[in-house]
A = this chain, B = another copy of it.
Amino acid sequence: MQAEIITIGDEILIGQIVDTNSAFIGQLLNLNGISVKQISSVSDNREHIIKALDEAKERADIILITGGLGPTKDDITKKTLCEYFNTTMRFDETAYQDVVNLFAQYGKTVTPINRLQAEVPAICEVIRNYNGTAPCMWFDVDGKVYISMPGVPYEMKALMKNQIIPKLKSRFKFPFIYHKTVLTQGIGESALSELISDWEDSLGSVNIKLAYLPAPGMVRLRLSTKGENETVLHSNVESKIEKLKTIISQYIYGYEIFGVENETLEQTVGKLLREKNKTVSTAESCTGGYISHLITKVPGSSEYYIGSVISYSYEIKETELGVSKDILDTQGAVSQPVVEQMARAIRKKYNTDYSISASGIAGPSGGTKDKPVGTVWVALATPDKVISEKFQFGNHRERNIQKTANAALNMLRKELEG
């Protein structure tokens, strides 16, 4: 079973945005046993969209289209699909009520232009978009399925995960595919690959494919397998993961089973704090609020997260976190005693069980010979001790911030897991 993805929008062709939608859709389809034959990005142009549809249907049975569904004049996908399938427009009452409800949430009333968004080609089935005003449309024509989705990533993602994939699975028969991802932190891709080289070689005998998915400061290892017997697939993967744990247990912070569990490091930390009924605070310098942001992105984090002092200046480190001027002057803000004082101080001040702190040189400037850009100290204070660790990251400011936050959260995770 082959699929094709068509993304519509001039903003992709002029390089104003990177097409991340296609990668998301491609990954999700593949994880569900559907191969992607081609991805095409075309302009908001009638003839061009029609040509792309003609070419795609020669190669594939499932054609997924994103973009060009907005209420504005440059969006012509819906009109073009109507013409392509030689049908007329009808007004869809459910789609209209979804628009009305969405506007009501924002305390607004529907404008005539938004009312038009509830018009859809007569032959399509509307798939309700709970996160936006453009309905998703499903066409089943001559044995082939065409799905037109909005290009806004979070609308498209919710549609794909919750509605399109289940519907495709009931429309077509796909093989079983099982993926489980091992989440690691604290070891680089190449060091990891050397460490697990023999284990990796052993995967072929049970038809498991391994993919390395690196992110700043983390590597996710995805094990994928495909076949007719679901139970066998699960047990093959689980037994390989048990073996992997004997090699790299200290780096593993969690697992993702595709479509079942999806755990970020901050979610793991949140779950552990909640289970143990403990609280945490943070004192951030170089991360500038990013650690707190990750923690508070998790719904319900107010149960265990109390707050933070972001001390971007020397003065705030002194006045709010009691870091001694002497140490700042002699050792600098990026030093072991400073992060340890920060962690100790915020834990006491905000009266939490744990606290984490970070100070470093995120870059691009501010580096010295002794402390080049990417030098970072992270500390953790617990009810009975303070521990700290030095990291040497790279030159890229945003990645340094992300890596520092992940290192800090992982330090807390390891402590909580004992």
Contact = CB atoms under 8 A, between A and B. Distances in A.
B292 A212 contact: no
Given A293-B288, A306-B312, A12 B23 contact: yes
A249 interface: no
Number of this chain's copies in the complex:
2
A52 to B, nearest CB: 8
A36 interface: yes
Interface in A379-396: 392-396
Given A111-B194, A365-B299, A38 B42 contact: yes
Interface string A24-52: 11111110000111111111100010001
Interface residues of A, number: 114
Interface stretch (A68-76, A120-128, A230-238, A322-330): A68-76
A213 B15 CA distance: 11
B17 A374 contact: no
Contacts of A80: none
Contacts of A17: 23, 213
A260 B211 CA distance: 38
Nearest to A352: B313
A190 B397 contact: no
Contact of A214 (B152, B222, B350, B372): B152
Looking at chain A's contact residues, is the secondary structure mostly helix, strand, loop, or mixed? mixed
B189 A70 contact: yes
B350 A316 contact: yes
B23 A72 contact: no
Interface of A: 9-20, 22-30, 35-44, 48, 52, 55, 70-74, 102, 105-108, 111, 113-114, 131, 133, 152, 154, 179, 181, 188-191, 193-194, 200, 209-214, 222, 224, 258, 282, 284, 287-293, 295-297, 299-302, 305-313, 315-316, 320, 350-351, 362-365, 372, 374, 392-399, 401
